[in-house]
């Protein structure tokens, strides 16, 4: 149980286009989802915390108008990278949190590799 999927697993896009990444909790309901980005050989940096039905909370330095997060249901959150640029190329990982009984443990998706040309 507690499986999180991400789609797509990798994407290549042209500079200036927008890319949407989906994060789904497959066998549980997650009121909270998190979005991270990871640069090569570096740690995960939290970008935003997403609660179902409400606006995401962005970490300091993360542009909310560039990284649009939608958490429309208890099993789906999406991250849209708008007007992507090469510096947005990164590995994006989501996680989903069970609200009770499991100490709010986070379960991570497999990640999405974004390459902006």
Partner 1 sequence: AQSVAQPEDQVNVAEGNPLTVKCTYSVSGNPYLFWYVQYPNRGLQFLLKYITGDNLVKGSYGFEAEFNKSQTSFHLKKPSALVSDSALYFCAVRDRGGATNKLIFGTGTLLAVQP
CB burial of residue 31 (10 Å; 0-12, 13-18, 19+): middle
Q: How many residues bind partner 1 (CB under 8 A)?
A: 25
* DSSP β-ladder status, 10-13 and 112-116: parallel
| List 60, 61, 65, 103, residue binding partner 1 (CB under 8 A) | 103
Mark the segment that binds partner 1 (CB under 8 A) among 13-21, 43-51, 60-68, 70-78. Answer: 43-51
Query: Is 112:36 a contact under the CB 8 Å cutoff?
Result: no
What tokens does 20 get?
């949407």
| List 6, 75, 89, 90, residue binding partner 1 (CB under 8 A) | 6
Positions that interact with partner 1 (CB under 8 A): 4, 6, 32, 34, 41-44, 46, 49, 57, 91, 93, 95, 97, 103-111, 113
């Amino acid at each position: 149980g507690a499986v999180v999927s991400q789609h797509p697993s990798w994407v290549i896009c042209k500079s200036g286009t927008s890319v949407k990444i989906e994060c789904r909790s497959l066998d549980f309901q997650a009121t909270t989802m998190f979005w991270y980005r990871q640069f090569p050989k570096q740690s995960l940096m939290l970008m935003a915390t997403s609660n179902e039905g409400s606006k995401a909370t962005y970490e300091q330095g993360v542009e909310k108008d560039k990284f649009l997060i939608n958490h429309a249901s208890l099993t789906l959150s999406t991250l849209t990278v708008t007007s992507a640029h090469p510096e947005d190329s990164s590995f994006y990982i989501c996680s989903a949190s069970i609200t009770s009984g499991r100490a709010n443990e986070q379960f991570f998706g497999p990640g999405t590799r974004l390459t902006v040309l």
